[in-house]
Amino acid sequence: MKGNNFVSMMVKLASEKPEVRVVTDEILTPTPTFEIAEKSMLLVRSGNLGLFHLSSEGECSWFEFAQVIFETLKLKRLCCPRV
């Protein structure tokens, strides 16, 4: 994890705070950069030109995304919803 992104921020906050509060009312589609790179290369190789929008399928709130990060990385801090 490198750079300024949500995953890095959650890891940092989990190391600094006993509780991390994350909004529940903003919805997004997290898309890993390796997936964007892979699909971009397919487009380049296909010869297609134009403006393209790439994202993963599905959606979640920032809070749901944070919960998955905490569970996946086995972070010991509590992730709480913030309305």
**pLDDT tens sequence across 1-52:** 456 889 999 999 988 988 888 999 999 999 888 999 999 999 999 998 889 8
Give the predicted TM-score (pTM) of the model.
0.78
- Which of 26, 78, 31, 38 is CA-nearest to residue 58? 31
When pLDDT is cut at 50, 70 and 90, the band that residue 73 belongs to is very high
* Structural domain containing residue 51: 6-82
- Alpha-carbon distances of 25 from 17, 28, 57, 61, 72, rounded to whole Å: 22, 10, 19, 7, 22
Cα distance between the two ends of the chain: 28
Per the structure, the count of domains in the chain is 1
Task: Give the domain CATH number at 67.
Answer: 3.90.25.10
Q: Residue 62 domain-assigned?
A: yes
CA pseudo-torsion sign 52, 8, 58, 73:
positive
**pLDDT score recorded for residue 38:** 94
> Do residues 31 and 7 touch, judged by C-beta distance below 8 A?
no
Q: Residue 30 domain-assigned?
A: yes
